[in-house]
Amino acid sequence: MNLTPLDIQQKQFNVKFRGFDILEVDNYLEQMASAFEALQRDNKGLHEEIQRLKQENRDFKEREETFKRALQNSQKVLEQMKENAQNSAKLVIADAEVKAEKILNRAYNRLAQLHEDIGELKRQRVQIQVQVRAIIDAHTKMLELGNEEMKAMDEEDSKLTVLKQPK
């Protein structure tokens, strides 16, 4: 049964002989109604405060969930960024390795070409030496033949001079 202060104030008791003092009962009921009214106001205020706190608590929980989701999303983004950075670093390293391999291959090819060129130059030097020796030998033989011819001519000339003296 829900009683209101008005119910208490308007409550009428049957009066009997030798009953309670009506004025005293009325005063007591007035005090009870006032106290009851104050309690109801306090109770209503407390219920309102409870509702406000419950709403505030719900709001805080919603904010907390929002923050949790934002934190989780941030962590996911951070992980993706980290993964992307690692993948990018792997690509840069792979690209650098490919470029280094190309540079090494060119260097090895150039080295092989230089070795071939050196070998070719050595062969050419040997050929030139052989040709120069052959030319020198040929000229030496020609000089020797020329010397022999000169000796032979000198001998013939000396025979001629010997023949000319007796006259």
**Dist. CA 38–CA 43, nearest whole Å:** 8
Q: What is the pLDDT of residues 77-124, one digit of tens each?
A: 999 999 999 999 999 999 999 999 999 999 999 999 999 999 999 999
**Dist. CA 125–CA 119, nearest whole Å:** 10
Q: Specify the DSSP class assigned to residue 18.
A: T
Q: What is the pLDDT of residues 73-87, one digit of tens each?
A: 999 999 999 999 999
**Dist. CA 144–CA 36, nearest whole Å:** 157
**Dist. CA 135–CA 138, nearest whole Å:** 5
For residues 71 and 161, the model is more confident at: 71
What is the pLDDT averaged over residues 43-57?
96
As a residue count, the chain comes to 167
Tokens 């030319």 sit at which residue?
Answer: 135
**Which residue in 124, 127, 105 sits closest to 116, CA to CA?**
124
Distance of CA 98 to CAs 85, 92, 103, 105, 107, Å?
20, 10, 9, 10, 14
* Amino acid symbol at 131: Q
- pLDDT tier at 10, thresholds 50, 70, 90: confident
